A and B are shown apart, each in its own frame.
Chain A
Amino acid sequence: MKRRFPPTREGWWFLLATLFVGAVAIDAGINLFFLTFGMMACLLAANWLMSTVGLGGLRVRRILPPVIHAGTPYLMGIALENRKRRLPSFSIEVEDLVEGRPIDKRCYFLKLPAGRSQETSYRHTINRRGRHKLSGFRLATKFPFGLMARAREVKDATEMVVYPALAALPPALLRGLPSPPTPARQQGPSRQGELAGLRAFRPGDDPRGIHWRTSARRGMLLVREHEDDEGREATIVFDNDARSGAEAFELAVSRTAALCVELARRGLAVGLVTRGSEVAPSAGPGHLARLLRLLAFIAPEAGPPPRARRRAVARVSPDGELHLGNDNSPNRVGGAGLRPAEPITTP
């Protein structure tokens, strides 16, 4: 826990005035100047003491937003709790630290009564996908007199995963996608059709699809898969080729992420195939988070181009071009409700 105590601009003036009065008192032997000098020196000491007390007994925590996309503003919640028994804390600033350095946003708490907790938030944007580490907080106050900015750093390491930015999808593509489900329509995997098998329960799955007997026997939750589910599946093939340029690659990632979000929004079970990894189609917010997380960390790779073992409905080339349809079996594109007869290519 580091502490800092730099004077503010007014504090420097006050300090200089204090030294001047003290010097005059000593030099000229004016007794009452010692009294004034004492008052000024004690005000500085009181500033230090009260700011120390004000910063003491505070507990701060973050309230992370559920989803953060690169380039999109988000609200980071900050909760501050005053654990002192009697004394309130005034005028507290809280800053998030990234690698020990404060970001340019801060939260201000005017008054935090004893034993109470308050929440506020700051608006911030991160432009790069991937993992972001917040190392802690910097609590600062200039209370009571604004002469010294006392600060205390609190270690609280938090890791945030920033999903890729969501690029705008071409309207022609959006027209080819199935409509979002109405509230009355079933949003999860189908419970009709032939039973295709069992798979592990994933967050977002309909609990009614859990096969309880097998789950009990195996000691893990398993859900039924029906033949009819395959009709609402869409697999996106993203070729994360190492030969592409960095900017084009990021555009490709953003488009892939946007496509994942859009397809999921329209009720499809979305899968993703890339060089080196494959996520089977599934639905639900947990699954979408898994896809976006994969895209958050995805990097260009060498090796054989990705091939979908199931029906691919879209291909994203390394330079960001979006091809709708399946090169191998274009006739089956419509299986997911995708209408275009010709593949749609975006520049």
Chain B
Amino acid sequence: MRFQAAHKLVTYLLVLSALAALGTTGVLAPGNAIAFLIVCACSFGVDAGSTRLTAALDRAAGGVRAATGLLLVAIVWRIWRRMPDADLAPAFDLVLVLLGYKLLYRRNHRDYVHIYALSFILVLVASTITATFLFVAAFAVYVVLATWALILFHLRREMEENYLVRHSAQAPSQKVGIGRILGSRRVVGRAFFATTFVVAAAVFVGALAVFAFVPRLGAGFVLGARAQPNLIGLSDEVALGRYGTAAGARHAVVLRATLPRLRALGSEAARQDAAEQLYFRGAVYDAYDSGRWLRSRRPELRTVIDEAGGRAFIHELGELPTPDTLAGAERQEIEAVGIPATVLFAVDRPVAIELPSKRLGAAGSVGVVPRWSGEAALRVGDDAQNGVGDGFVTLAHAHYVAYSRPRALAAPALDARARLDNLALPEGLQRLKELGTRLGSGQGDGGDSEKITAVIDWLRSGHSYTTHPPERPAGVDPVDDFVFSQPVGHCEFFASAAVLLLRAAGVPARYVTGFRGGEWNSIGGYVAVRGERAHAWAEAFVAGTGWTRVDATPPADALAPAGRLDATSDALDFFWSRWVVGYDLGRQRDLAHQAWHGLGHFGPGEPPGRILLALLLGAALTALGFAVRRVRRRHAYGLRFGAASAGAGASAPRAEGAIDRLYRRTLGRLSRLGWPRRPNETPHEYASRLQAAGPFAKDAAFDSLTARYAAARFGGQQPADDTVAALGRTIGDVLSRSQQN
């Protein structure tokens, strides 16, 4: 390939790989991407001083610059208007516009440098916000192309700027036109690209090694810990009809949970069934007001958190945590990847949370902070433990370990004030209160459990589930409308109605949101929860048992499981998130620990582990490989220099003849006389040297021997034995005389 064409092609491919890296973030608008690709395609034929299009563009440079400037101003205005909320999408557009401009005006080295710098910025920024493993593929391609592009750019610059000068002693030196060299096919070829590809691959592997082995100590001295903006979602209030509808459209995975209990089950079907039964509890609300669930934020409802042993133990007022709280609790690793909320999610009722270890020197620590009604959240700040830190951390990307129980910790009785809070009913809703009272009283002296059953049965018997509830009339409470007028609704209406009816029946209850069920991902060995599994249910306080989950929503049809491709993709994303994005000092420590165990502790008397054996086997195979290579090279050498006489395709080395032996013996004698053959000397050069000054200065015998030896070795002309014998005698005489002298 011509040098100039190779350089241009590699530059464009580099830009496209940066665009692909940006594309993995999902923030690139398709329209903008298509517009940029069109600019790329148009600019490809524009080279300095080459075509009419270039000339036209040069003439229109003022207009293009003005248009670009206006576009930049507009983008800056978009960014400015959204301040202080960070929005990177216009910034990407800004970089793309600049990049397109530079591609259209590739005139000198500086323009190429700008192109490389802008594409690097795209990759750099993409690396901060990407959440998919596809980035690493784009990054690998980018590394290879960047290596090629930088090399070709450097060579071109050296050619054009500096040194291609023709000298003459009679005239001043002149620069040589480099068009011929730029158009040459001999500067870079297949071997060049192959070799530099190996270098690029090594760079990529090195980058992975740096990624894997640089300790994640953190510093936070300058920029502080990474914090996400606090997005509104599950945090403060829920307006009925909004959350469920919005969540129902989300097919993306928002939560991944690794549960050893599920892994231990015997079959994939059993794991899938168990995954469907899981409830991931999140936000809890205790106050209802005209279709909205709120937190009353009363002190008696405040969650209590105790720190011990690196864990945050969670309980409520009146609950009695015991020293063996974790005994029997279900451990789960939770990875929240797309939840716009600060609430910590966990299966059933979380009793303890473990967060990743704090980074050294981090400006703000992330901690578990108490909220209300057994709910906990993440907060970053200097005093996060007291709930007065700088800001909440949303679960746009969070890793933690939770310990859960099916029910709350042992609670002999609910605190009197908390009981009143959880029995409170809003003004109005008279029909609903009467209904609740009737359902409760209908159970006679039955306990809370019977009342709960009665409420669930009543709701399920006359109400149906839909994700598209009808429009509620204005001025009418949506729950009242759902219960008495339009008995169609989704989980939020069922849960709200259940809570209010239970309270009317005298059972303390509250409203809970979270996710119901998940898909067992057999590839990654975890439960994947998609946004469409968002759910709402109630919790009721049962005397002697404590807070108990009450799900009044009729069982809906099971959601269609993800296809194999989706599952594979999500498993890769999980791996990516766990081992790349979430790769921290703890994971490094775990890996080192496992490696150490794998090596089997080289202690005295302990047998080496399997990994040691594998290492030894690898070393032996490597040594064997080297030995085979050496033998093959020697064999090849023999074929080249030893079997020429046998013609092409000869495989057997040439047998040593009388002339060879004579030559070898003569060399030995000459060496002992102080005339050894130098390693870099050919036989004829050696003979010339000896004839110029040496034992054979006045004798052509050694010349003759050399000629016959060369003819035999390289020409296949073996001399007759008597000829060799005569030659041997002559040489012997000369050497003997030389020795005597």
Contact = CB atoms under 8 A, between A and B. Distances in A.
Given A27-B221, A42-B202, A142-B154, A35 B127 contact: yes
Nearest to A122: B167
B359 A29 contact: yes
Interface stretch (B238-246, B411-419, B575-583, B637-645): B575-583
Interface stretch (A87-95, A227-235, A264-272): A87-95
Interface residues of B, number: 61
A106 B136 CA distance: 43
B207 interface: yes
Given A24-B223, A26-B219, A27-B218, A32 B167 contact: no
Interface in A10-68: 10, 21, 23-39, 41-43, 45-46, 50, 65
B534 to A, nearest CB: 28
Interface in B124-183: 124, 127-128, 130, 135-136, 139, 143, 146-147, 150-151, 153-155, 157-159, 162-164, 167-169, 173, 181
Interface in B187-226: 187, 195-196, 199, 202-204, 206-211, 214, 216-226
A144 interface: yes
A21 B739 CA distance: 75
Interface in A256-313: none
B368 interface: no
Nearest to B186: A111
B600 to A, nearest CB: 30
B724 interface: no
B380 interface: no
Contacts of A28: 220, 223-226
A106 B158 CA distance: 13
Contact of B123 (A36, A37, A146): A36
Interface string A74-100: 110000000000010011010000000
A216 interface: no
B196 A33 contact: no
B206 A50 contact: no
A27 B187 contact: no
A144 B223 contact: no
B168 A123 contact: yes
Contacts of A87: 195
Contacts of B224: 28
B207 A35 contact: yes
B127 A145 contact: no
A45 B199 CA distance: 11
A91 B154 contact: yes
B103 to A, nearest CB: 21
A87 B192 CA distance: 9
A6 interface: no
A145 B151 contact: yes
B666 to A, nearest CB: 30
A244 interface: no
B203 A46 contact: yes
B163 A43 contact: no
A163 interface: no
A143 B150 CA distance: 10
Nearest to A29: B218
A184 interface: no
Interface string A180-223: 00000000000000000000000000000000000000000000
B173 A123 contact: yes
A31 B583 contact: yes
Contacts of B187: 110-111
Contacts of B163: 93, 106-108
Contacts of B220: 27-29
B139 A35 contact: yes
Contacts of B155: 90-91, 110, 143
20 contacts: A26-B219, A29-B584, A31-B211, A31-B581, A32-B135, A35-B208, A37-B207, A38-B208, A41-B206, A46-B199, A75-B167, A75-B169, A91-B155, A91-B158, A93-B163, A123-B173, A144-B150, A144-B196, A146-B153, A146-B158
Interface of A: 10, 21, 23-39, 41-43, 45-46, 50, 65, 73-75, 87, 90-91, 93, 106-108, 110-111, 121-123, 142-146
Given A46-B202, A91-B154, 7 more contacts: A26-B214, A27-B219, A31-B584, A35-B136, A73-B169, A108-B164, A121-B167
